[in-house]
Amino acid sequence: MAFSYVSHLYCPKCENTYNVEELNQLCECGSPLLVAYKMNKLKENFKASDLLQRPTDLWRYHELLPVQAKDNVVTLGEGFTPIVGMSKTGKNMDIPNLYMKDEGMIPSGSFKSRGAAVGVSKAKELSVKELAMPTNGNAGAAWSLYSSQADIAATIVMPVDAPEITRKECIAAGASLYLVNGLIGDAGKIVGQAVKDYELFDASTLKEPYRIEGKKTMGLEIAEQFNWEVPDVILYPTGGGVGLIGIYKALQELQELGWVSKDKMPRLVAVQAEGCAPIVKAWEEGKSYAEPWEDAETIAFGINVAKALGDFLILDAIRKTEGCAISVSDDTLLKELKTVASEDGAFVCPEGAAAFAAARKLRENGWIKHDDNVLVLNTGAGIKYPETVGEEAPVLEIGERILRNSAFHYKT
C-alpha cells in the first residue's frame, strides 16, 4: 500500500503535465499547476472506513496528499479542526443551521498551517534547502515554523502593516524576515528578485503546487465531519483563494472516489472586503479573470490581495457550484465579530467575521434559504488580531471595590 497515490502535475489551463519527482513551480504557460492522483487505484484501495482508527490530523488523508515517504512528513498535529454549531448567531441571522469550521485551533492559529505542513513536507522530500515567500503575515509565520522543523532556511517578506504577532512567529522560528513599506504585491516583487538572485525555491501562493493540497484537507474534513454529506453553502474569506480552490478540488476528488454523492456540491461563496474585492467585481461582470484592485485596504488583512494568481480557478469554482462572490465593509465585519463573540463565545479573526457578515447579507437578500446548512470558515484565531477590539477596561487600585452602577457591560 502506497503512502501517497500521487500521479503527476497538470496545468488546468494548457493541460501540460509535469513529473512530481522534480521540483516544479508554475507551468510554462504561467498558470499554477495542480496535483493529480491515481484515482482508479485509490478507489480500489482506499475506503472511508479506513479513516476511523487514524490520528485526528490532516495526515489521516495521506493517500490523497502528495508526500510519498512518511519520513518526510513535517507535522505539528495540524488539522481536523472542529465544526461547531453557532446556534445563537444563527438564530440572530435566521439561519438555524449555521456552523463554523474553526481554523483558529491549529498550529500558529491560522489555516495557513495546512498549506505549510504539506508544502514544506513536499519541499523537504524534493530536497529544498532554502525557500522564500511574500505573505500577509500568517502564511509566512506558518511556513517559517514548519521550515524550521524541516531544516529549510526561510526568507519571508511581509508588509509593515501585517499583524505584528506574525513577525514574532517568523523571528522565533529563525526565519530571515523583511518588512516592506507596501502591500503583498510589493513583497512579491522583492521575493521574485531574491529567488533569481540566490536561486531560492519560490513558495509564493500557487507558484508551488503543494500548498493547495494542504488547504484541500479542509474540504476532506468538512465532508467527513458532516458524515460524507456536504453542507448547502460554504462561505470562505477570499484573498489568494487557495482554500476555496482546494475545497472544490477535495470535493471533486471525493465525488470521484464515490465517498460523497455527485448530485450535490455546496454552493461556494467567495467573501471579500469592500476595500479589496477584485473577485467580486469579476464575478459581477461575468469575467473569467480579475483585474488588479487599486489602493486595496481592509482591516481583514489576510484577504487584502489585489491580484490573485488563481483568480480564474476561484471564479470557475464559484460558477460551477452555483455559488457567488460578495463583499462586506470593515464596519460591518467588525460589528459581526462582536456579535459572534458575545453570542456564541467564538473570538474569530476579521476574515472569519467577514464571512459571517456575508452569510447575514445573503440570508437577508434571500440567496441563503432559511433551511440551508451553512458553513462559515473562520480562517484564524481572533487572538492574532488585538486591534479588532478597541475598547479599554477601567483600572482599580488595590482594595478598591467594584461599584455595580459603574460596571459597564460592553455587550449591546
Q: Which of residues 27-66 bind a second copy (CB under 8 A)?
A: 52-53, 56-57
Task: Give the DSSP letter string of 207-260.
Answer: TSSSHHHHHHHHHHHHHHHTTT---SEEEEE-SS-HHHHHHHHHHHHHHHHTSS
Q: What angle do CA 338, 99, 93 make, to 5 degrees?
A: 55
Q: How far is the CB of 312 from a second copy (least distance, A)?
A: 27
CB nearer to a second copy: give 20 or 123.
Answer: 123
**CA–CA separation, 228 and 225 (whole Å):** 7
Cβ–Cβ < 8 Å for 357, 332: yes
Residue among 286, 222, 211 at smallest CA distance from 248: 222
Least distance from C-beta 271 to a second copy, angstroms?
A: 20
Binding window for a second copy (CB under 8 A); candidates: 26-34, 39-47, 156-164, 368-376: 156-164
Residue 54 near residue 335, CB atoms below 8 Å: no
162 binds a second copy (CB under 8 A): no
| CB nearer a second copy, residue 44 or residue 151 | 151
Is 179 a residue that touches a second copy (CB under 8 A)? yes
Number of amino acids touching a second copy (CB under 8 A)? 90
Binders of a second copy among 236-275, rule CB under 8 A? none
Instruction: Report if residue 82 touches a second copy, rule: CB under 8 A.
Output: yes
Q: For residues 307-336, which are near a second copy according to CB under 8 A?
A: none
Q: Which strands sit side by side in the sheet containing 34-37, from one edge to the other?
A: 17-18, 6-10, 34-37
Q: Least CB distance from residue 166 to a second copy, whole Å?
A: 9
Q: How far is the CB of 9 from a second copy (least distance, A)?
A: 26
| Residues in the chain, total | 412
Torsion of CA 360, 361, 365, 371, to 10 degrees: -20
- The residues, any chain, with a CB within 8 Å of residue 259's CB and separated by 6 or more, are 48, 223, 228
70 part of the interface to a second copy, by CB under 8 A: no
**Site residues for a second copy, window 378-407 (CB under 8 A)?**
381-384, 386, 388-389, 391-402, 404, 407
Q: What does the block give as the cell for 38?
A: 491515481
Pick one of 14, 17, 69, 198: the residue that binds a second copy (CB under 8 A).
Answer: 198
* Residue 386 CB, nearest approach to a second copy (Å): 5
Binders of a second copy among 89-148, rule CB under 8 A?
102, 104-109, 145-148
Q: Does 356 bind a second copy (CB under 8 A)?
A: no
| Residue 50: partners with Cβ closer than 8 Å, 6 or more residues away | none
Residue 1 or 52 having the CB closest to a second copy: 52
Strands in 86-210 per DSSP E: 98-102, 130-134, 153-159, 176-180, 201-202
181 binds a second copy (CB under 8 A): yes
Query: Please, which residue, 289 or 410, has the CB nearer to a second copy?
Result: 410
Decide if residue 299 touches a second copy (CB under 8 A).
no
CA atoms within 13 A on the CB side of 327: 21
Q: Which residues pair with 236 in a beta bridge?
A: 270
Count Cβ atoms below 10 Å from residue 256 Cβ, excluding itself. 15
Within a 13 Å sphere around the CA of 1, how many CA atoms are in the beta-carbon half?
12
Distance CA 75, CA 351 (A): 25
Shortest distance, CB of residue 193 to a second copy, whole angstroms? 5
76 binds a second copy (CB under 8 A): yes
Which range, of 37-45, 121-129, 259-267, 376-384, touches a second copy by CB under 8 A?
A: 376-384
| The only residue of 39, 43, 186, 335 in contact with a second copy, by rule CB under 8 A | 186
Q: Closest approach of Cβ 210 to a second copy, in Å?
A: 17
Q: Quick check: 342 binds a second copy (CB under 8 A)? A: yes
Beta carbon nearer to a second copy, 25 or 87: 87
